[in-house]
Chains A and B, each alone.
Chain A
Amino acid sequence: DQQVKQNSPSLSVQEGRISILNCDYTNSMFDYFLWYKKYPAEGPTFLISISSIKDKNEDGRFTVFLNKSAKHLSLHIVPSQPGDSAVYFCAASALKGNEKLTFGTGTRLTIIP
C-alpha cells in the first residue's frame, strides 16, 4: 500500500523555466510534509517542508503548496537551474512523537540547458 505517491517517474524542463513536481498521499493522519533532493549513492538533502496548518511555504527558488482536501502537494522550482537535476522525493509523517517518514517513489528531474 503506497501511502505517498509520485506518479511522474521523470520530468524534463528547460533551464530558466518552472519545474513542478507533484505528490499525492492517502493517509489523512499525515500532517507534516517534506521534499528532499537526492543524487545517486548519496543521502537525501532536505529542501523544504510544510505543516498541514499551512497551504504554502517558500524558501528562495523553492515553494511547496499543500492542498489538504485533495491530499496533494507540489514543489515549484523557479527558475530551474542545471544543478537542480536530481531525483526528488516527497515524504510525509504523522507527528505527535512519530519520526517515521513515508517516502514517495521519487521523480527524476532533468534540467535541459
Chain B
Amino acid sequence: KAGVTQTPRYLIKTRGQQVTLSCSPISGHRSVSWYQQTPGQGLQFLFEYFSETQRNKGNFPGRFSGRQFSNSRSEMNVSTLELGDSALYLCASSSGQGDYTQYFGPGTRLTVL
C-alpha cells in the first residue's frame, strides 16, 4: 500500500498571504488528522476529519481550517499568514474505526517571511 502523501513538500509565503496544503491518506483510510510541529511547541493537533466531517478540533485560531473530500483526501488552509505559522505541517491517516494507529506523511515545510 502506498503511504500518506503530502504536497507540496516545501512552501515559502509572505505575511498576510494564504496557503493550502494537501494530503492523500493511505488507501481505505477514512480519518485524516493534521498536526503542526514547531521547535517551541512540539507536535500539536490541529483537527481531524472523518467522512468529510470535522470530528475533532485542537486549540488553533480560526485562520486554520480544513476540509475532506469524498475520496478521503484532505486539504488544510491557513489564511492571513503570520511569521509564527512557520512550521512543519504533518498529515496522518487512520482507518477511523477500530484501529486507532495514525500513519504520518512526510510533511510540508512552510516558511513565512
Query: Which of A's residues lie within 8 Å of B, judged by CB?
Result: 32, 34, 36, 41-46, 49, 89, 91, 93, 95, 97-106
Contact = CB atoms under 8 A, between A and B. Distances in A.
Interface stretch (B13-21, B69-77, B104-112): B104-112
Given A36-B104, A43-B90, A101-B92, 10 more contacts: A46-B101, A46-B102, A91-B43, A99-B50, A99-B100, A100-B56, A101-B43, A103-B43, A104-B42, A105-B42
B102 A41 contact: no
Main secondary structure of the interface of A (DSSP, over half): loop
B55 interface: yes
Given A97-B55, A99-B31, A99-B33, A45 B42 contact: no
Nearest to A44: B104
B96 A43 contact: no
Given A43-B4, A45-B104, A46-B101, A98 B56 contact: yes
Contact of B109 (A34, A41, A102, A104): A41
Interface of B: 4, 6, 31, 33, 35, 42-45, 48, 50, 55-56, 58, 88, 90, 92, 94, 96, 100-107, 109
Contacts of B50: 99
B29 to A, nearest CB: 11
B94 A42 contact: no
A93 B104 contact: no
A102 B88 CA distance: 17
B42 A99 contact: no
B34 to A, nearest CB: 11
Please provide the 8 A-B residue pairs with the shortest distance between their CB atoms, ordered closest to farther.
Answer: A43-B104, A103-B43, A99-B48, A100-B45, A44-B104, A100-B56, A43-B106, A43-B107
